[in-house]
Structure 1
Amino acid sequence: MNTAELVQHFAEQTHPDELEQFDRSTLRDLLTQHETPFLVLDLQEVEYQYSALQKALPGVELFYAIKSLAHPAVIRRLKKLGGSFDLATSGEVDLVKGLGIEGHQCIHTHPIKKDREIRHALDFGCTRFVVDNPDEVLKFIPYKDEVELMIRVSFRSQDAIVDLSRKFGSALEELPGLVNLAMENGLTVSGLSFHVGSQSLSPFAQVNAVQASISAMKEMSHVHWKWLDIGGSFPVSYQGPVMPIEDFCAPIMEALAELPASVKVFAEPGRFISAPSMIEVIRVVGKAKRGARTWYYLDDGVYGALSGQMYDHAKYPIAPLKPVDPTGDFYPSVLAGPTCDSVDVVDEDIELPELAVGDILIAKQMGAYTIASASEFNYYPKPKIVVVEDLIDHTDDE
């Protein structure tokens, strides 16, 4: 079954308007306490997503990619659940260290690093690093007695929204040379890693990458392989259906069954855990009729928490907070952000009921790569984050 067929297969399983899952009374209470725009971070949703992925990938150690949403409350909750952490910068090292995370609970996955970044991570106690080219391997010679390396291999995927093998990863045919270079210089190679891309629409690229990695490990039997890092790519639903996580992971687990029992499997979920955990509460602050469409001006836009539309190729589901009659009238509309820049348009082709200045909109799936890339352009402050427990009821999902 190809990707298009998979999407069609699961389209009928899409939940009705997910806004109905949100506790509207709770949101209205929050509106009396906080000025819009603000984000609502649901820690129970973080736990729900983490547990769902853990169940779908039994035996796989999950290293949360904190770059997707580096909020201390998320990290604390995942620490409580026994989670591990994927780091890429010295700033992220300092963040998790300040929250009581220890170096052995982390991997450092940025393939390109400054020497002082390596030393900083080692001082923290993180000894597992990713490399993907000869120059990077050689940087570790001064630390050869302290580190274990994972070599990142490039596997391109047409099914991923964000291609993460374009910028990083060695070609498969280059792998033996990198392994030999490391070993000739006294370095320990203990694993392979890959990332087929963020928000993958099917598991096939990941399955192929697992199979190719296992074959490469068998061919290089002189290496004591300890780890295989399968990256992220686990999808969430934005505007359309995606495969349920248990169905997405099933063929991956089948492929991993061919791996020797002595090799541990890592994964680096970011979006899957963080995206559904946050919504944004936005207010209509102005409206104007321009041609055939009504423009609604919001108090946040693509320079703020909706920045993922520019940087992450995401389009967030947005709907009015007040219940909408699906049989009522809808009109061609535009949602625009508050800044003076004309690029600050959230949606130019959306059908909405008639809205009034002051009405509230809810943007969903706002946890991943949103506040992380938000700016304060025009001196609009970034939306604050309000932390709650159990905003969404999953009773019907279980």
Structure 2
Amino acid sequence: MNTDALVQHFAEQTHPDELEQFDRSTLSQLLKEHETPFLVLDLQEVEYQYHALQNALPGVSLFYAIKSLAHPAVIRRLKKLGGQFDLATAGEVDLVKGLGVAGEQCIHTHPIKKDKEIRHALEFGCRRFVVDNPAEVIKFVPYKDDVELIIRVSFRSQDATVDLSRKFGCALEELPGLVDLAMSNGMTVSGLSFHVGSQSLSPFAQVNAIQASLAAMKEMAHVSWKWLDIGGSFPVSYQGPVMPIDDFCAPIREALLDVPEGIEVFAEPGRFISAPSMIEVLRIVGKAKRGARTWYYLDDGVYGALSGQMYDHAQYPITPLKPFDPTGDFFPSVLAGPTCDSVDVIDEDIELPDLAVGDVLVAKQMGAYTIASASEFNYYPKPKVVVVEDLIEHPEDES
């Protein structure tokens, strides 16, 4: 089914019931054990997503972007699978170090670092660092014998929900100057990197960036290139369909056929691995009729785990836990969070069946950039994370 057909398919299902019986029975049991709101982290889903991306990008080394979901259970599972890690801060260094990850299994990708952060990563054993400007290159002069630099180039993408080349990355024409600056100061330049943006709906910005990076490497033949880091961008479905990961990666795989022998390709998936791995279980704590709409007040909102709606431009699929008739009556509704701030509104234009105080809702795709940016505004605690195995079944696995 092509993308247009998928869009039409979803449009025709105005009120799909997104929870299967398997989900409901498991969540009903968890509700007996845990007070809402809570997040459910499914480690089998982490593993499923990791293998799906590895199969779509054979031969590419996957460095999980810890910032998307820095839960120890996720890191342990990916370490067990042979995954590697994309670090950006001293706190992330300490996290993976405490979980037995070795420094050589990591790359440090934050283009801007304090000197003490460089030293901290080096003491851990991480020696691959990303830079994107002359001032950052000069910071590494005292450590020139201990580091290998990866220079980040900016490639903008209109297809990405989150633009990650606005804040970081040098212009392509600035690249030779940065390489010369590093090498003239006795440093080793070993790679290029880019990140066209998070949640990209098309792979072609990444394809163009690969082609431009390979052309730049060829022009600078005096550099002993070892690595090409193609970043993240791999999408997941929130409210609408996205390309299946194998289809998304097909043109990327084709572009990577031109990578010269001896150059290893990295990727930095975060969202693709973490987003589908977690759901949130919430409860309706208040109900009011205001004008033509029914307002439902939940026990978590945009100051909590749903913070990704503010910071990550995400709109999470939310559905009642109890079964409902998709062809029955639905009413204009508003979902609001529990805090006293009027900005704490999750959805102002959602149609729902008639619900009651005490009913439970489930938000899906809650793994990426949710608990990571949650606060404790109004002294509401962040939702706890309950770790399980195999909450979500995949029909293709049953054959």
* TM-score, normalisation: structure 2: 0.97
Judge conservation of contact 2:17–2:319 (CA < 8 Å) in 1: no
**Identity rate, percent:** 84
1:193-252 Cα shifts (integer Å, max 9, x gaps): 000000000000000000000000000000000000000000000000000000000100
Which residue does 1:19 correspond to in 2?
Answer: 19
State how far apart, in whole Å, the 2-side matches of 1:9 and 1:140 are: 52
Judge conservation of contact 2:17–2:326 (CA < 8 Å) in 1: no
1:105-132 Cα shifts (integer Å, max 9, x gaps): 0000000000000000000000000000
Which letter maps to 1:35? E
Q: What secondary structure, in the 3-state scheme, does the structure 1 residue paired with 2:239 have? A: coil
Judge conservation of contact 2:132–2:169 (CA < 8 Å) in 1: yes
Which letter maps to 1:175? L
Which residue does 2:78 correspond to in 1?
Answer: 78
Q: What secondary structure, in the 3-state scheme, does the structure 2 residue paired with 1:41 have? A: strand
**How far apart are 1:6 and its partner, in Å?**
6.7
Q: What secondary structure, in the 3-state scheme, does the structure 1 residue paired with 2:335 have? A: strand
Which residue does 1:272 correspond to in 2?
Answer: 272
Where in structure 2 are the equivalents of 1:155-174 lying within 5 Å?
155-174=155-174
Q: Does 1:347 align with 2:347?
A: yes
Which letter maps to 1:11? V
Judge conservation of contact 2:47–2:78 (CA < 8 Å) in 1: yes
**How far apart are 1:18 and its partner, in Å?**
3.6
Which residue does 2:190 correspond to in 1?
Answer: 190
Which residue does 2:359 correspond to in 1?
Answer: 359
Which residue does 1:201 correspond to in 2?
Answer: 201
State how far apart, in whole Å, the 1-side matches of 2:219 and 2:24 are: 57
**How far apart are 1:11 and its partner, in Å?**
3.1
Which letter maps to 2:255? A
State how far apart, in whole Å, the 2-side matches of 1:371 and 1:20 are: 25
Which residue does 1:50 correspond to in 2?
Answer: 50
1:73-99 Cα shifts (integer Å, max 9, x gaps): 000000000000000000000000000
Judge conservation of contact 2:18–2:319 (CA < 8 Å) in 1: no
Which letter maps to 2:46? V
Which letter maps to 1:256? L
State how far apart, in whole Å, the 1-side matches of 2:231 and 2:290 are: 46
Q: Which runs of 4+ in 1 moved over 6 A?
A: 13-16
Q: What secondary structure, in the 3-state scheme, does the structure 2 residue paired with 1:285 have? A: strand
1:116-165 Cα shifts (integer Å, max 9, x gaps): 00000000000000000000000000000000000000000000000000
**How far apart are 1:396 and its partner, in Å?**
3.4
Gaps of 5+ in 2: none
Q: Does 1:8 align with 2:4?
A: yes
Q: What secondary structure, in the 3-state scheme, does the structure 2 residue paired with 1:126 have? A: coil
Change (3 A) 1:9 1:184: farther
Which letter maps to 2:41? L
Q: What secondary structure, in the 3-state scheme, does the structure 2 residue paired with 1:86 have? A: strand
Q: Does 1:252 align with 2:248?
A: no
**How far apart are 1:19 and its partner, in Å?**
1.9
Q: What secondary structure, in the 3-state scheme, does the structure 2 residue paired with 1:248 have? A: helix
State how far apart, in whole Å, the 2-side matches of 1:350 and 1:11 are: 19
**How far apart are 1:7 and its partner, in Å?**
3.7
State how far apart, in whole Å, the 1-side matches of 2:393 and 2:53 are: 18
Which letter maps to 1:153? V
State how far apart, in whole Å, the 2-side matches of 1:104 and 1:154 are: 26
1:343-395 Cα shifts (integer Å, max 9, x gaps): 00000000000000000000000000000000000000000000000001113
Q: Does 1:40 align with 2:35?
A: no
Judge conservation of contact 1:21–1:392 (CA < 8 Å) in 2: no
Which residue does 1:143 correspond to in 2?
Answer: 143
Change (3 A) 1:216 1:22: farther
Which residue does 1:282 correspond to in 2?
Answer: 282
State how far apart, in whole Å, the 2-side matches of 1:181 and 1:206 are: 27
Which residue does 1:395 correspond to in 2?
Answer: 395
Which letter maps to 2:148? E
State how far apart, in whole Å, the 1-side matches of 2:392 and 2:255 are: 34
1:17-46 Cα shifts (integer Å, max 9, x gaps): 442275211100100000000000000000
Change (3 A) 1:80 1:13: farther
Which letter maps to 1:160? A
Where in structure 2 are the equivalents of 1:292-303 lying within 5 Å?
292-303=292-303
Q: Does 1:29 align with 2:36?
A: no
Change (3 A) 1:312 1:21: farther
Change (3 A) 1:326 1:264: same
Q: What secondary structure, in the 3-state scheme, does the structure 1 residue paired with 2:252 have? A: helix
Gaps of 5+ in 1: none
